[in-house]
A and B are shown apart, each in its own frame.
Chain A
Amino acid sequence: MNEEHPQVSPSLYFFLIFTPLMSFTLLCYPITFAQSIGTDSYLGIPAALLFALPAILLGRYFERRFSGKTVIEYAPLILGKFFGLIYNLVYLIFLFIILFVLFRELTGLVNHFLLLHTPLWAVTILIAGSVAYLSFYGLSSTARLATFLLPAGIFIFFMIGLGFQNWSIQNAVPLLKQPVSTYLFGGFKSLYIFFPLILIYQAPAFSAEKRKNTPLTLAALVLTGAIYFFNLLGIMGVFGPENCIRYNWPTLEYVRTINFPYLLLDQIGLTLIIAWLVLAYATGAILTFFLSSGISQLWQKLSFKKVILLLVPVYFFSLISFPSYDLLRDLFGYFQYAGLTVLLGLPALLWLVSLITGRRGGSI
């Protein structure tokens, strides 16, 4: 296999899916859950998992039918050249927006907590440049880094566990006293936490052992769900929904409530930013790779390396020209629903069309 289409081993594939899922909205997702559900909002996570399952099934269907092909390759086979192109453009724009949100979140966080006076462009150029450096070396290197950063993920999990020192059950009850539809709707609304799952339309083509793809994706999803559940349970027990929505990054604030007077570091909670930064870096590199590889598949003339070189200025300038973090929050509200269409709606459409048109064009 050439470097444009590297094959990664199952363990690397797992981290390709898991790292983006875990880090994408880890710090801020509790807000929407707390707003739409309330004290037992952690029950919304299983609901969201339920809604994410169809995406996995759709991904599995396409993977079986078009083995070794990414969505960029099979969408035109199903929809025809023109509509396939449109479909892929929507897909890639969605990927770009996920990347954009991630970077804006990261730079916003850095500017809030670590570097208050450093201008945004300086923070952005550092992260954008270094992410590009890694994704440049292709998928295997990126996946290897994501795997190597597993300790950061374990650290985050550990910190979430420590946060339970201030936990009180009474903040997190009453349990299940609302109509089931509330939980389902809350989970559905907050499905954005699993947006990086969109990679299942692209990543399986790069896996060396195709048979393990679906179980691994499912494992990554469930593990992420478990961490999100555990975290939200902690946040509800410590803050309660009313206090949780006061903060922009409830997970961070939650971890900052940990108090260990005997450690050398004073505000131990701030180390969560570091651990998250590291994961977000890997996520950025993974998404950058898939985005550029997708674009290079669309325009055969460009190699993915050239695409990355072109992409870096694009997201650098779009990031620094984006006025404020709060506008992002507002716009993200709309993106939440638009993203659902791309994650579930459009693939479902693709599936229907491919069912109707039968085997034509399939399994080449």
Chain B
Amino acid sequence: MSPPKVLFPFILAGLLFLGGCWDVEEVEKKSLITAIGIDAVLNNQLLLTLQLPNPGAIIHSGSQASQKKLFYTISTTASTTLGACTDLEAKTSDTLDTAQTKVIIFGRKLAETGLAPHLDCFGRFPKINPQAILAMAEPDAGSLLKMEVAQEMLPGLYIMDYFTKDSKKGASHPITLWQFLQKMDSPTIDPFLPIIRYDRDERTFNISGIAAFRHDRLAFTLSPEETKLFGLLNSGLENAAFIFPWDENRKIGFHFTRSKVKSSWEPPNTIRLKVKVEGYFLEDTGNIKPLTDKALSRYEKMVAKNLAQQSQTLLQKLQQAKTDLLGMGKVVRAKTPGKWSAAWWRKKYPQIRIKVQFEFEMSRSGRMT
């Protein structure tokens, strides 16, 4: 018998002995965690809440069996994330599996004390999807995950769907785990999280506004209006509506479709942002006259001026909060390679002058003249 024929049975025999199937566990015997919520509670403890789906009910939802609940939650307190996870294993007969975790939500209090220690576990554990979406809950994540939504779907999937819709990105500003870690690690930019609340009356989530971080700590929260503006400045905006007051009775609304930002460093102390916005005219509460080209260009100028003013205010607020949400550090680092260091930038950022110029181009004006 020539050697290869000897070898092959060996491998096969070895495999039969292996038969352990250590990792084999069918999907129905696992509890797939769809969402994780982490809150800070007293005495430096964490409250970890897991949202677990009930697949049998999801399959038959709509039919007679829909009385069954779509999901259930389990929670526990511990000093670290991993500690809490191990404690939770005791609360369910199934194996907990993070492979499908798509949403990780932090409570506001935790965000204020810093996220880095709790993110380490998520960044390290290979089974966590780096594309999981992060958000900050107000007031706390645990109670939010227990809520049902009127749409009769898994809340975890609801949140995931909301953030992955392209048409909503102008307002939702999704951020994934790897993006947050990247922004947190990088000295040139600070991370943010979208804010999520639960509306008890309508039984739905309200996702608006973002929380700006300084490194890993919550530094400042942006209102929904400011969030849209941030979208314009961050050039990631797709679809957002802005209303501008013309005078007391008349308001004009625009739908912005695209924004392009060019930022440049002007030594010694100035950053100039040139923002080019495209959009269309969608609402005018007072206009009855036919639109002329002249009027339109007046609108354009008004919008540009108004946006520039608002942005200036927002950027000042961010500077005061010492959070470099727009990644100005990158711009400066590219131009001042010798001088630049993380510490230098931390000190420098609140002092620099940021000048914003807006240019608005109206592409359409709707069905009416």
> Do A and B interact directly, with beta carbons closer than 8 Å?
yes
Chain B residues near A238: list those with CB within 8 A: 182
Inter-chain CA distance A136–B129, complex, in Å, is 39
Q: Answer whether residue B23 sits at the interface, using C-beta atoms and an 8 A cutoff.
A: yes
* From B8, B331, B334, B335, residue with most partner A Cβ within 10 Å: B334
- Mark contacts of B125-156 with chain A using CB atoms, 8 A cut-off: 1 yes-contact digit, 0 otherwise: 01101110000000000000000000000000
Q: Tell me how many residue pairs across A and B have CB atoms closer than 8 Å.
A: 95
Q: Answer whether residue B337 sits at the interface, using C-beta atoms and an 8 A cutoff.
A: yes
Q: Is the CB of A246 within 8 A of B181?
A: yes
Inter-chain CA distance A213–B142, complex, in Å, is 65
Q: Answer whether residue A133 sits at the interface, using C-beta atoms and an 8 A cutoff.
A: yes
Chain B residues near A173: list those with CB within 8 A: 333-334
A177 contact from B7, B8, B176, B338, Cβ within 8 A: B338
Q: Is the CB of B7 within 8 A of A267?
A: no
Closest to A38 in B: B337
Q: Is the CB of A117 within 8 A of B14?
A: no
Closest to B127 in A: A116
B23 contact from A117, A239, A243, Cβ within 8 A: A117
The segment out of B56-64, B77-85, B183-191, B307-315 that lies at the interface is B183-191
Instruction: For chain B, give the interface size range.
Output: 35 or more
- Mark contacts of A254-273 with chain B using CB atoms, 8 A cut-off: 1 yes-contact digit, 0 otherwise: 00110101000011010000
- Mark contacts of B102-135 with chain A using CB atoms, 8 A cut-off: 1 yes-contact digit, 0 otherwise: 0000000000000000000001001101110000
Q: Answer whether residue A129 sits at the interface, using C-beta atoms and an 8 A cutoff.
A: yes
Q: Answer whether residue A50 sits at the interface, using C-beta atoms and an 8 A cutoff.
A: no
Inter-chain CA distance A295–B283, complex, in Å, is 82
The segment out of A86-94, A118-126, A202-210, A281-289 that lies at the interface is A118-126
Inter-chain CA distance A31–B18, complex, in Å, is 35
Closest to A240 in B: B186
Q: Is the CB of A116 within 8 A of B181?
A: no
If A239-B182, A267-B129 touch, whether A122 touches B20 (CB-CB below 8 Å) is yes
- Mark contacts of A159-201 with chain B using CB atoms, 8 A cut-off: 1 yes-contact digit, 0 otherwise: 0000000101011011001100000000000000000000000
Closest to B2 in A: A305
Q: Is the CB of A132 within 8 A of B182?
A: no
Q: Is the CB of B23 within 8 A of A257?
A: no
Q: Is the CB of A129 within 8 A of B11?
A: yes
Q: Answer whether residue B72 sits at the interface, using C-beta atoms and an 8 A cutoff.
A: no
Chain B residues near A226: list those with CB within 8 A: none
Inter-chain CA distance A138–B176, complex, in Å, is 48
Q: Is the CB of A133 within 8 A of B7?
A: yes
Chain B residues near A130: list those with CB within 8 A: 11
Q: Which of B319-337 contact A (CB under 8 A)?
A: 327, 330-331, 333-335, 337
Chain B residues near A115: list those with CB within 8 A: 22-23
Chain B residues near A261: list those with CB within 8 A: 164
If A118-B23, A122-B20 touch, whether A246 touches B185 (CB-CB below 8 Å) is yes
Q: Is the CB of B7 within 8 A of A136?
A: yes
Chain A residues near B20: list those with CB within 8 A: 118-119, 122
Q: Answer whether residue A253 sits at the interface, using C-beta atoms and an 8 A cutoff.
A: yes
Q: Which of B330-357 contact A (CB under 8 A)?
A: 330-331, 333-335, 337-338
Q: Answer whether residue B295 sits at the interface, using C-beta atoms and an 8 A cutoff.
A: no
Instruction: For chain A, give the interface size range.
Output: 35 or more
Q: Is the CB of A133 within 8 A of B185?
A: no
Q: Answer whether residue B267 sits at the interface, using C-beta atoms and an 8 A cutoff.
A: no
User: What's the nearest-Cβ distance from chain B to residue A276, in Å?
Assistant: 15
Chain A residues near B123: list those with CB within 8 A: 246
Q: Answer whether residue B3 sits at the interface, using C-beta atoms and an 8 A cutoff.
A: yes
Q: Which of A82-132 contact B (CB under 8 A)?
A: 112-119, 122, 125-126, 129-130, 132
Q: Is the CB of A257 within 8 A of B334?
A: no
Q: Is the CB of B11 within 8 A of A133?
A: yes
Q: Answer whether residue B42 sits at the interface, using C-beta atoms and an 8 A cutoff.
A: no
Inter-chain CA distance A359–B73, complex, in Å, is 81
Chain A residues near B127: list those with CB within 8 A: 113, 116
User: What's the nearest-Cβ distance from chain B to residue A201, in Å?
Assistant: 27
A309 contact from B3, B18, B129, Cβ within 8 A: B3
Closest to B164 in A: A261
User: What's the nearest-Cβ distance from chain B to residue A352, in Å?
Assistant: 41
User: What's the nearest-Cβ distance from chain B to residue A138, in Å?
Assistant: 10
Inter-chain CA distance A125–B14, complex, in Å, is 8
Q: Is the CB of B7 within 8 A of A309?
A: yes
If A115-B22, A119-B22, A174-B334 touch, whether A243 touches B181 (CB-CB below 8 Å) is yes
18 A–B contact pairs at CB < 8 A? Answer: A116-B126, A125-B18, A129-B10, A130-B11, A133-B8, A136-B3, A174-B334, A177-B337, A239-B182, A240-B182, A240-B186, A242-B185, A243-B182, A246-B123, A253-B178, A261-B164, A266-B129, A267-B129
Q: A39-B333, A133-B4 are in contact. List 12 more A-B contacts (CB 8 A).
A: A118-B20, A122-B22, A129-B11, A129-B14, A136-B3, A170-B188, A174-B335, A246-B123, A246-B181, A257-B178, A305-B4, A306-B3
The 10 closest A-B pairs by CB, nearest first: A177-B337, A170-B330, A243-B185, A129-B11, A174-B337, A118-B22, A117-B22, A173-B334, A243-B182, A242-B185
